[in-house]
Copies of this chain bind each other. A is one copy, B any other.
């Protein structure tokens, strides 16, 4: 039997996800810090709540999709947070990308109420949220994930159970480290190619299919060649995730010299006011050092 679903956080990702839940015929109660963002969802059938606590009181399953660790802490532990409304047997699913150690702590607070937690960060961007094709990396118990699965399928096309609570966030960090590291490789390679006088299209054709290949090269390489910096994922959001990655790596005692370098390079682009460009604009940090711009506008 379908359960009523709460959805907290109607930003660039959450609004698409909540809309897909409604489209799939679910009963959805929404809350957003900026109340005006609830109106478009209410228009298509959602019920607006006055606080996260109210969402938790009315819904046995509460999904969260906000930005950063402090935002999730607010929504859960704040004066009107879901801990105030949560019943035993409820389930909280956090789709935000936040700290794995904060996740463990929040899951324990929720557990003390007899409720449970799944961390389920997503990848696939706002397009994926709208189209319902997100990839979801879930940490938590089998039973909790099976309970949530029918709802997550409204906006996720791949749902991978990667371990216990916190492991979803850890795998998301792995994902982001891979994304930016590959992005730096693509940036150095293509800026060199251009400065050395190579044709970028021919170069991409020659190297994309072999051992040098990657999703980033195949998808962002051609975009970089025509200087199209529209974001799949912005530099500002990427930096938030890298901050989580570097802190988590520090906690477990492993070095990330490449990721650390990339963080500094993105920082220089934020300082230059480019934080809302796509993460593939990383190459601009190298271009500024070189005094040479690649590609053709």
Contacts and interface: CB of A to CB of B under 8 A. Distances in A.
A51 interface: no
B209 A175 contact: no
A255 B181 contact: no
B258 A185 contact: yes
A170 interface: yes
Nearest to A232: B211
Size class of A's contact patch?
35 or more
A261 B257 contact: yes
Interface stretch (A31-39, A71-79, A246-254): A246-254
A254 B123 CA distance: 32
A146 to B, nearest CB: 17
B177 A185 contact: yes
Interface stretch (A62-70, A91-99, A195-203): A195-203
A102 interface: no
Interface of A: 100, 123-124, 135, 137, 158, 160, 162-163, 167, 170-171, 173-182, 184-186, 188-193, 195-199, 202-203, 205-207, 209-217, 219, 232, 245, 248-249, 252-259, 261-262, 265, 286, 289-292
